[in-house]
Structure 1
Amino acid sequence: MSYSTPPGGPGNAGPYGAPVQQQGWYPPPPPPPDNSGEGKGLKRVVIGLLVLAVVAVFAVGGLALYKAVGGGSLPGAQDGGDEKQQILSSDVIDTLLNGRTNALKSGNEDEFLKPFVGTARDKQRKIFENLRRVPFAESKYMVLQQTGDGSDEYGSDVKLALDVAFVHQIKGVDVRPVSEWYRWTVEKQSDSAAPRISEVGGSPGASAMANAVYYPAPWDLYDDMYVKRQAHTITISAKKNAADAARFAPVVEQSAEKDIELWGSKASSVPNTPDGFLVVLEPNRKTYSKLYNNDGSDVGWDAGQSVPMPAFNAGSSDKDRLEYGGARIKMDTSAGQFTSSAWRRGVGEISRHEIAHALVQPQDPGAYGQDEKTSIRAWVVEGFADYVSYRFDPTLGDQQVRADMAGEEFDGTLPGQDFSSAYNSVGANYALSYLANRFIAEKGGEEALFEFVVDHYRHPTNLDQQLQKAVGMNESEFQTAWAQYVRSNIR
């Protein structure tokens, strides 16, 4: 689990605000069915679902930030001077970006690469080839910020930095366009010269947070990208890892089918539900940690994350505006779920968990933080994902609960927002969250659980009323009844 800790809040923050485990041991899952003992010490599934509160404010779609900071530009943009000759005008920049957009759509590699020079050209060639393997419903480049005014007193040798949003929507995966932020270094030797892009990298970030720009994506990291497209999943890896990715992809697809079928039977009327999922499989821990997180910070104990992608809400009406347009799932295939002899069971478990997060992600209004009264409860977020996963393997769920709660002194209280502080292990908080969601399903029915979760995501301040509707209890009564349920299941 990865969940948010606002800047300056308690604990050490990992990627996407994930609190680093502070104490205790991380519990191993139960051994696989063949009782070989393999799988001991496996990393638990972790979800990078909930973004820092400030990221939710500043990074929503990029466009919101572009407008919010005033003056039509991000912090650091400079105004032009009338006394200088404009060499890199807004029209030149628009033409530069529109040219890349059109070339990508048409598949014209030579045209796409025309302005890139040096190592930037070589890198962009690989990115272009990778991007052409992804089924985009929409893909375009838009300026977020210009640092430098594009003018020069002598009319020559102009250089500026452009923060560029790659706005894209993957067919079936995203319910709204999302964005990845680049920084381009653009140069123009004279008014008559063609502009050149000499450097490309990730944007420095929203409010100096590199993990708010959703760079690098797999198409940036992999020189040659393997893509396996199935009915409900797009599985991506480096080409050198294609054999393993091809082996895991059918299990990921089966997991997606199960989650989608369950969601459709229990929450069919919920709008903005993804039809598919993008999943990146990566065995190198450093590369895994860097995906969608340019600073590469690593909590060290996660096996997977579902990274929420803020919607790029350009042109949407207030009625249609969403905070999140979709999610990107990444999984560490060096983790035991993928390497044990029971790997099909492990891959299914982690995939169902992460896909459950991605299914409900668009319902999140960005209301997450340390204040439990105004935020989506962590026990709802993680417990629901575990409930969906273990619903298809209840024996594994029971085994995991017993393993996670072994040696814990249960105090009868629901997990708080900071999973790392309530009990000796993060796993115990997972187990208790799972049991809370399972208790709701058993008490009120699965339809009631799904309705409860969706409504809580949308309106996190209404927990008491939501519990009353789902199980006929207020929050205090629910906690008391749930605590009795927990004790009966961990004996």
Structure 2
Amino acid sequence: MSYSTPPGGPGNAGPYGAPVQQQGWYQPSPPPPPGSSGEGKGLKRVVIGLVVLAVVAVLGVGGLALYTAVGGGSLPGAQGGGDEEQQILSSDEIETLLNGRTTALKSGDEDEFLKPFVGAAKDKQRKIFKNLRKVPFAESKYMVLKQTGDGSDEWGSDVALALDVAFVHQIKGVDVRPVSEWYRWTVEKESESAEPRISEVGGSPGASAMGNAVYYPAPWDLYNDMYVKRQAHTITISAKKNSADADRFAPIVEASAKKDLDLWRSNISSVPNTPEGFLVVLEPDRKTYIKLYNGNSFDVGWDAGQSVPMPAFNAGYSGDNDELQYGGARIKMDTSTSRFTSSTWQRGAGDISRHEIAHALIQPQDPGAYGQNEKTSIRAWVVEGFAEYVSCRFDRALGDASVRADLAGEEFSGELPGQDFELANSTVGANYSLSYLAMRFIAEKGGEEALFEFVVDHYRHPTKLDQQLQQAVGMNEVEFETAWAQYVRSSI
């Protein structure tokens, strides 16, 4: 299971409809009815969220290309005061602030990194600096997205401005291209001869009033002391106080990643921009889990995990790769759910890990070309069905049990799940299981290699579903849906 989205139907998420303001989730269907809170009938009652943020649907690109759409402000030096005003805080000084933090972070010079911060901002940045130094970055730098205020003053003193700053970073083995997290710095300068100071740091207000479009806060922002466990294919993160649980779950997360990668490589020989590893945050506190990468997002109450797509930060790059919309993904999982607390926690943790890692594995293939017309978007049943197929590929009994539980008592219309996961059937669990059966049907009909090739090609070219089904199983869309419906009825 992968996602959840904001109220109002499809769209906030990007891939499954027109952009809607607000939280930027994809919500396939309402929460389960009373008594089915995600831990009851069928494992698929728990929606494991794939957050596809609306900013991608609105803007389509990452990095400085977002600047004009974020709107309203100016880059350093772009605004000038009147003739009577003095330039107190210059664009060169702002550039020095950013470059200095970039250099100090890379070198590990904590004192230099903290030098311009004051007050509570300094204490907070000290913790963030220590946390960031635990992460294996291939690239990390600070860049201005937007400036509010021009640093000039009629009286030659006391200026303050707001900088929306992108923390551009690429984690070794996890990201195929740099991604970004957006901060807002309040920069002050008392006089022309004084040093600029950063008095406040928080998440950027975001683009188009969508506060969660900034991928803030990351775990390094939330945790006073961040625990990082590196393994061959995974980086598992938690708060230091939860490190014992992280150590217990991390081997299962790692084993799940290896299984997913081995399955991928055995079925599809060479796919550009395939991640080699995955970052997974394990968090038992529900409020903290909800905040991660989403800011002040609401709690739908029934998601157990999410794979959060991270748009590529394209500034400074050239060539065909600039078409790449996603640089990677961030996985977070709520370890307070029964998947991690029941007597069968090894099975539950493996199931959710394989599912979310499957989403992250294929995420860079998503072209980000979304619209209101379903035929222009990646089909939800392909996205969720693929992740479920990968997960259940290693536990067929679990898949069969989920199908029976999720479809028991359901009125099956014979239609593939729609983009909002409500059009054809009434529950989230049913739609996940039906999507899983669609993938399993393709694999059994055309072979597993045909299934993987179908999914990758559909991600890249969502408008060509008919041709893709012809290639995979020798059927057009109508024929496929009819044959699949018969397969579903024989499987219940």
Assess same fold via TM > 0.5.
yes
Q: What amino acid is the match of 2:430? A: A
Shift of 1:314: 1.2
1:151 is matched by which residue type in structure 2?
S
* Deviation (angstroms), 1:178: 0.1
Give me the identity figure in percent: 75
Q: Does 1:87 align with 2:92?
A: no
- Summarize deviations over 1:82-119 as a string: whole Å, max 9, x none: 43111111100000000000000000000000000000
Check conservation: 2:47, 2:428, Cα contact below 8 A. no
Q: Distance in 2 between matches of 1:330 and 1:149?
A: 39
User: Does structure 1 residue 16 correspond to structure 2 residue 38?
Assistant: no
Q: In the alignment, is residue 440 of structure 1 matched against residue 442 of structure 2? A: yes
Residue 121 and residue 105 in structure 1: after superposition, are their counterparts in 2 closer, same or farther (change >3 A)? same
Residues 50, 368 of structure 1: 8 Å contact kept: no
The answer (yes or no) to whether the contact 1:16–1:211 under 8 Å persists in 2 is yes
Q: TM-score, normalised by structure 1?
A: 0.93
- Residue 379 of structure 2 is matched in structure 1 by 377
After the TM superposition, which residues 93-104 of structure 1 pair with which residues of structure 2 at under 5 Å, given as runs?
Answer: 93-104=94-105
Q: Is the counterpart of residue 454 in structure 1 residue 462 in structure 2?
A: no
CA distance in structure 2 between the aligned counterparts of 1:369 and 1:334, rounded to whole angstroms: 36
Residue 359 of structure 1 corresponds to which residue in structure 2? 361
Shift of 1:25: 2.6
Structure 1 residues 352 and 24, CA gap change in structure 2 (3 angstroms):
closer
TM-score (norm 2): 0.93
- For residue 342 of structure 1, what is the amino acid of its counterpart? T
The one-letter code of the counterpart of 2:380 is A
C-alpha offsets along residues 402-441 of structure 1, whole Å, 9 cap, x if unaligned?
1110110001000000014532210000000000011001
Aligned to 2:129: 128
CA distance in 2, matches of 1:26, 1:442: 36
Paired position in structure 1 for 2:253: 252
Q: Structure 2 vs 1, CA of residues 291 and 83 (structure 1 numbering), >3 Å: closer, same or farther?
A: same
> Deviation at 1:16?
2.7
After TM superposition, give the deviation of residue 480 of structure 1 in Å. Answer: 0.3
Amino acid at match of 1:482: W
Q: CA deviation at 1:287?
A: 0.6
**Cα distance in 2 between the residues matched to 1:309 and 1:424:** 31
Aligned pairs for 1:460-475 (under 5 A) are: 460-475=462-477
Paired with 1:185 and 1:400, the residues of 2 have a C-alpha distance of: 51
1:147 paired residue number: 148
Structure 2 stretches of 5 or more lacking a match?
A: none
> Does structure 1 retain, via aligned residues, the 8 Å contact 2:147–2:163?
yes
Seen in structure 2, the aligned counterparts of structure 1 residues 69 and 155 have a Cα distance that, compared at 3 Å, is: same
- What is the SS of the residue equivalent to 2:374? coil
Counterpart residue type for residue 305 of structure 1: Q
Give 1:39 shift: 9.4
Query: How is 1:79-478 mapped onto 2 (pairs within 5 angstroms)?
Result: 80-321=81-322, 322-478=324-480
Determine if contact 1:19/1:299 at 8 Å carries over to the other structure: no
For residues 311 and 11 of structure 1, what CA distance do their matches in structure 2 show? 19
**Partners in 2 of 1:81 and 1:301 — Cα distance?**
55
Which one-letter code corresponds to 2:331 in the other structure?
A: I
Q: Which letter does structure 2 place at the counterpart of 1:161?
A: A
> Relative to structure 1, is the Cα distance of residues 14 and 289 closer, same or farther in structure 2, using a 3 angstrom cutoff?
farther
Deviates more, 1:404-413 or 1:13-22: 13-22
Per-residue Cα deviation, 1:281-333 (whole angstroms, up to 9, x for no partner): 00111110010011231221100000000000012224112100000000000
* Conserved 8 A contact 2:12-2:26: no
Separation (CA, whole Å) in 2 of partners of 1:107 and 1:191: 30
In structure 1, what is the Cα distance between the partners aligned to 2:486 and 2:418? 18
1:59–1:212 contact (8 Å) kept in structure 2: no
- Is the Cα–Cα contact under 8 Å of residues 184 and 200 in structure 1 kept in the other structure? yes
Q: 1:7 Cα deviation (Å)? A: 5.7
C-alpha displacement of 1:18: 2.6
- Give, as a single letter, the amino acid of the residue that structure 1 aligns with 2:25: G
Query: For structure 1, which runs of at least 5 residues remain unmatched after alignment?
Result: 32-37
The amino acid that maps onto 1:334 is S
> Which of 6, 15, 20 is equivalent to 2:11?
6
Q: Partner amino acid for 2:239?
A: A
What secondary structure is seen at the aligned counterpart in 2 of 1:428? Answer: helix
Q: Give the distance between the partners of 2:399 and 2:12, measured in 1 at CA.
A: 34
Shift of 1:192: 1.0
CA distance in 1, matches of 2:422, 2:81: 49
| Contact preservation (8 Å) 2:57, 2:368 | yes
> Take 1:26 and 1:465, find their aligned partners in 2: how far apart are those partners?
42
- Letter aligned with residue 257 of structure 1: K
Q: Decide which moves more: 252-261 or 4-13.
A: 4-13
Aligned to 1:34: none
- SS of alignment partner, residue 48 of structure 2: coil
Aligned equivalents of 1:222, 1:330: Cα separation in 2: 14
Per-residue deviation, residues 248-270 of structure 1 (Å, max 9, x unmatched) = 00000000000011111112211
Q: What is the rounded CA distance, in whole Å, between the counterparts of 1:432 and 1:198 in structure 2? A: 52
Aligned equivalents of 1:250, 1:310: Cα separation in 2: 28
Following superposition, the deviation at residue 80 of structure 1 comes to: 3.6
With over 3 angstroms needed to count, the CA separation of the structure-2 counterparts of 1:269 and 1:20, relative to structure 1, is: closer
Q: Secondary structure at the match of 1:328?
A: strand
Q: What CA distance in whole angstroms lies between the structure 1 residues aligned with 2:25 and 2:111?
A: 40
- Do the aligned residues in 1 keep the contact of 2:386 with 2:436 (CA within 8 Å)? yes
1:299 maps to a residue whose letter is: V
Note the aligned Cα RMSD (angstroms): 2.5
Aligned AA (1:84): E
Shift of 1:40: 7.7
CA separation in 2, counterparts of 1:434 and 1:397?
A: 8
* Stretch moving more, 39-48 or 119-128: 39-48
